[in-house]
């Protein structure tokens, strides 16, 4: 067989990456191209879909060049993207406005309107108690209709970043079971599209603007068009395999495909994704989502909106070119950063509060505190936010037996150890921490029928590298700081409410 390699593509918040893999999951080359994000107003975040397409071509061409393989040796490709990055397109598939990316939470009012319907589709939002996140598809689409009615009318298609890329790769408009299950309030194990919710919101026409076909992960979308092949430097008709939300596909790349396991996906944001044999719904969590990852399993989710992005913001504020010095100095400090607490809600809170109006804060500052204190306290604040999500999951009966970590935090020994100590859980690191790209390669392998299904491909392509063990004593030292972190949200919310009033 001449076709010995797989192409994975990860459309992230800051740029798009491409990776070439062999059938064992070993990476030959990576390439990345950035694109800008615009912030027209507080809590708004937009990107130009044309920038995604341009960056895709550059990254794929560079990855192939660096790998040294011929394009005729690539068997298939699969793409993941950020989720609930909502795109409005005309009949030709061209954007009629910038995309409202996942971190855009301007639709807080529309999210509240969704909760007020009391519709059964909201069971995945804290068992129907809400709130619904302003990040999700329906609130964003409703914001466009209510605030830009002419744009909503012009939009023949309203879809995901994922769907936009696949459309331009293959000419076929389809949605992913993954995206629609976790962000569109769709449940294809029961009633499919949430028609009653859309009707209550006077948004029935949205269902007609959505892609009408929904594919499972690993299904072939279609072959590359000649235009797409030329843009990417690939062969026409190369099969494109269905992917989904970047973090969810990262679960596959981490080998988190069994009940009781949990993936901690780190990056600009954190996601906490687990699998259960049975459906359940509870306060402070999202899900469970039926069949979102694998048929017959139910996904539970927690998430932090701004984590790595806050650490990066702080680094840039300091004028640092890298993290080496900051990590080194922060490691010398004691747990709790000498009584400095950080609330990491710089772009609101995803779970367990689901409050888009919450904001970041540092408290406990003194003249003794320096850059290292702020840096370590920020990492600790992110870890406290993760532990609060795990606590919410435990309160609803989900106890993860293993936690596998991927993404930016794996490049910092300090960050990994703080996470392990705060939650008192061992953290598993896979050989390839770039889980979304490897997850795409696994799906590509399934689509090419190299492996018969996702579990078989995972067994062959995911390897464990090491385990970070927690320190019981330091875990105990963190408890008062964690309790202070938990108390911060309520007090700061009251203060901000008074300011708003």
Q: Give the CA count within 13 Å in the CB-facing half-sphere of 390.
A: 24
The crossing angle, in degrees rounded to 10, of helices 413-423 and 371-395 is 40
pLDDT confidence of 500, banded at 50, 70, 90? confident
pLDDT confidence of 380, banded at 50, 70, 90? very high
- Tell me what the mean pLDDT of segment 362-370 comes to: 97
- Tell me what the mean pLDDT of segment 447-473 comes to: 95
Grouping H, G, I as helix, E, B as strand and the rest as coil, residue 227 is: helix
**Tokens linked to 189:** 């194990």
- The CA distance from 80 to 235, in Å, is 20
Residue located via tokens 């702020």: 374
- Tell me what the mean pLDDT of segment 190-205 comes to: 94
Expressed in angstroms, the distance from the first to the final Cα of the chain is: 68
DSSP 403: E
Please say if the pLDDT value at position 274 is more than 90: yes
Length of the chain (residues): 501
190-197: long-range pairs with CB below 8 Å, 24+: 190/290, 194/119, 194/121, 194/138, 196/119, 196/120, 196/121, 197/114, 197/117, 197/119, 197/121, 197/122, 197/138
pLDDT confidence of 130, banded at 50, 70, 90? confident
Sign of CA dihedral 480, 482, 486, 492: positive
What domains can you pick out in the chain, each with its CATH number? 5-244 (3.30.420.40), 252-501 (3.30.420.40)
**Tokens linked to 39:** 């912030």
Please say if the pLDDT value at position 77 is more than 80: yes
Query: How much is the pLDDT for 1?
Result: 57
Query: How much is the pLDDT for 4?
Result: 92
- The CA distance from 255 to 196, in Å, is 36
Backbone angles phi, psi at 169, to 5 degrees: -80, -40
Neighbours of 407 (CB within 10 A): 26
Grouping H, G, I as helix, E, B as strand and the rest as coil, residue 478 is: helix
- Tell me what the mean pLDDT of segment 68-89 comes to: 96
Query: How much is the pLDDT for 188?
Result: 87
Residues 6+ apart with CB under 8 A from 46: 37, 38, 39, 40, 98, 99, 100, 101, 104
Please say if the pLDDT value at position 454 is more than 60: yes
- Closest listed residue to residue 93, CA positions, set 242, 209, 215: 209
Q: For 28-67, what is each residue's pLDDT tens digit?
A: 999 999 999 999 998 899 999 999 999 999 999 999 999 9
- The CA distance from 211 to 225, in Å, is 19
Sign of CA dihedral 302, 308, 311, 317: negative
Check if the beta carbon of residue 463 is closer than 8 Å to that of residue 427: no
Angle value at C-alpha 201, between 494 and 184, nearest 5 degrees? 85
Query: How much is the pLDDT for 265?
Result: 87
Higher-pLDDT residue of 225, 3: 225
- Closest listed residue to residue 78, CA positions, set 11, 125, 134: 11
**Interstrand relation of 286-290 and 341-343 (parallel, antiparallel or unpaired):** unpaired
Q: For 306-337, what is each residue's pLDDT tens digit?
A: 999 999 999 999 998 889 999 999 999 999 99
- The CA distance from 204 to 152, in Å, is 13
Please say if the pLDDT value at position 69 is more than 90: yes
Mean pLDDT of the chain: 94
Sign of CA dihedral 214, 218, 220, 226: positive
Query: How much is the pLDDT for 179?
Result: 96
- Tell me what the mean pLDDT of segment 219-235 comes to: 97
- The CA distance from 474 to 415, in Å, is 14
**Tokens linked to 242:** 């269905």
- Closest listed residue to residue 435, CA positions, set 408, 454, 399, 413: 408
């Amino acid at each position: 067989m001449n076709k010995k390699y797989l192409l994975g593509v990860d459309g992230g918040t800051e740029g798009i990456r491409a990776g070439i893999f062999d059938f064992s999951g070993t990476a030959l080359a990576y390439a990345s191209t950035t694109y800008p994000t615009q912030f027209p107003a507080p809590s708004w975040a937009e990107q130009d879909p044309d920038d995604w397409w341009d960056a895709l071509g550059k990254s794929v061409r560079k990855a192939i060049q660096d790998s040294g393989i011929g394009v005729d040796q690539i068997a298939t490709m699969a793409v993941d993207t950020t989720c609930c990055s909502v795109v409005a397109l005309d009949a030709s598939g061209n954007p009629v406005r910038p995309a409202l990316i996942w971190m855009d939470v301007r639709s807080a009012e529309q999210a509240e309107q969704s909760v007020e319907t009391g519709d059964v589709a909201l069971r995945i939002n804290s068992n129907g108690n809400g709130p619904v996140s302003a990040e999700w598809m329906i609130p964003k689409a409703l914001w466009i209709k209510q605030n830009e009615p002419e744009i909503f009318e012009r939009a023949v298609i309203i879809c995901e970043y994922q769907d936009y890329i696949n459309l331009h790769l293959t000419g076929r408009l389809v949605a992913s079971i993954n995206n629609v299950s976790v962000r569109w309030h769709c449940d294809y194990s029961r009633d499919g599209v949430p028609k009653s919710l859309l009707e209550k919101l006077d948004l029935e026409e949205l269902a007609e603007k959505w892609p009408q076909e929904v594919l499972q992960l690993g299904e072939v979308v279609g072959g590359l068009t000649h235009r797409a092949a030329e843009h990417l430097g690939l062969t026409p008709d190369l099969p494109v395999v269905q992917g989904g939300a970047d973090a969810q596909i990262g679960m596959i790349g981490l080998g988190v495909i069994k009940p009781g396991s949990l993936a901690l996906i780190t990056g600009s944001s954190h996601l906490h994704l687990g699998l259960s044999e049975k459906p359940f719904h509870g306060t402070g969590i999202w899900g469970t989502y039926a069949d979102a990852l694998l048929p017959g399993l139910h996904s539970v989710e927690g998430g932090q909106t701004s984590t790595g992005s806050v650490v990066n913001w702080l680094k840039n504020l300091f004028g640092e070119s890298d993290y080496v010095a900051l990590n080194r100095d922060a490691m010398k400090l004691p747990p709790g950063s000498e009584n400095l607490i950080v609330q990491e809600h710089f772009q609101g809170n995803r779970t367990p509060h689901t409050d888009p109006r919450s904001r970041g804060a540092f408290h406990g500052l003194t003249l003794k505190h320096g850059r290292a204190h702020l840096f370590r306290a920020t990492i600790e604040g992110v870890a406290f936010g993760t532990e609060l999500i795990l606590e919410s999951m435990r309160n609803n009966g989900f106890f993860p037996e293993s936690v596998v970590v991927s993404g930016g935090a794996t490049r910092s020994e300090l960050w990994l150890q703080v996470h392990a100590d705060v939650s008192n859980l061992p953290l598993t690191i896979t050989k390839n921490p770039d889980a979304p790209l490897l997850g795409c390669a696994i799906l590509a392998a399934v689509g090419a029928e190299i492996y018969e299904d996702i579990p078989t491909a995972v067994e062959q392509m995911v390897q464990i590298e090491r385990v970070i063990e927690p320190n019981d004593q330091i875990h105990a030292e963190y408890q008062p700081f964690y309790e202070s972190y938990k108390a911060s949200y309520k007090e700061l919310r009251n203060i901000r409410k008074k300011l708003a009033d």
